[in-house]
Amino acid sequence: MIPFEKNLVKSTWKMMAPMADEVARRFYERLFEIDASARALFKSSDLPEQRRKLVQALSLVVQGIDDLSTLAPVVADLGRRHAKLGVTESQYESVGVALLWTFEQSLGSKWTIDAGRAWASAYAVLAGIMKEAAAS
């Protein structure tokens, strides 16, 4: 990722942080709407707690985006945990789609094409690390 993209990820997350729980709620609603198979992964989960974990993970990513070498091991561990839960390749795709849609809906007119590209790039890097770790 280039510095411009990293800065967009940080600045847009800063705008969403005050409404983070609503962003997370919207994300899970959209994910379950577009990928019914994802709902099964959360059937025994406490969804408010899951939303908290999502916000925590997104915050961690944003804070660590300037130093991927430090962030990568944490993300890889998350990928291994997701593999144990049975997360599939197609579900990674669904998560990416739901995440970008959620951010666009949450930011409204403050969401730009550049912000979308920056978040898509960030997600691609992170999902790549997670999937590689899950396969090992």
* pTM, full prediction: 0.91
pLDDT at 5 over 90: yes
Integer Cα distance of 12 and 52 in angstroms: 19
Name the residue among 79, 66, 84, 52 with its Cα closest to residue 9. 66
pLDDT at 41: 83
Looking at the structure of the chain, the number of domains it has is: 1
96: its two tokens: 């990416």
Identify the CATH number of the domain in which residue 106 sits: 1.10.490.10
Average pLDDT (18-37) is: 95
Domain extent, residue 58, equals 3-135
pLDDT in tens, 56-65: 999 999 999 9
d(CA 49, CA 70): 26
Q: At residue 44, does pLDDT exceed 80?
A: no
Q: Give me the pLDDT at residue 85, please.
A: 85
